[in-house]
């Protein structure tokens, strides 16, 4: 399952800027190690903002929850602003062309 994830650093008043950089360095190593593994499709830092955007591909919602809540080095300092499931566009267009038919056996 593909997800768009938008995260904001929420560290002000909690840790120093130097501590942030130390934790973010570990976070960056972890995140970059995931790119190309099939989990992290892409990851971006928003210019001029304390915000990171990632496209991830996870097998289960539980895997996404474990990653965001337990495995990320920055987990305590990340505010997840948006976690949106994504659908491939091609199959969506196919459904549109078929006008979203009901599954076999479904009652109208």
Instruction: Report the distance separating Cα 77 and Cα 23, nearest Å.
Output: 9
pLDDT at 10: 94
CB 69, CB 7: distance < 8 Å: no
Confidence grade of residue 9 (pLDDT, cut at 50, 70, 90)? very high
CA angle at 98 for the pair 96 and 102, rounded to the nearest 5°: 100
pLDDT at 108: 77
User: Model's pTM, two decimal places?
Assistant: 0.83
CB 94, CB 27: distance < 8 Å: no
pLDDT higher than 80, residue 86: yes
CATH architecture of the domain with residue range 2-97: 2-Layer Sandwich (3.30)
Instruction: Report the distance separating Cα 82 and Cα 47, nearest Å.
Output: 18
């Amino acid at each position: 399952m593909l997800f768009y994830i938008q995260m904001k650093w929420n560290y002000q008043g909690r840790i120093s800027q130097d501590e942030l950089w130390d934790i973010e360095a570990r976070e960056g190593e972890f995140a970059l190690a995931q790119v190309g593994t099939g989990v992290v499709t892409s990851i971006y830092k928003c210019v001029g903002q304390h915000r990171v955007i990632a496209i991830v591909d996870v097998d289960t919602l539980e895997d996404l929850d474990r990653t965001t809540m337990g495995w990320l080095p920055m987990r305590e300092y990340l505010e997840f602003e948006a976690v949106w499931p994504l659908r491939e566009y091609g199959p969506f267009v196919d459904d549109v062309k078929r006008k979203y038919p009901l599954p076999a056996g479904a009652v109208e």
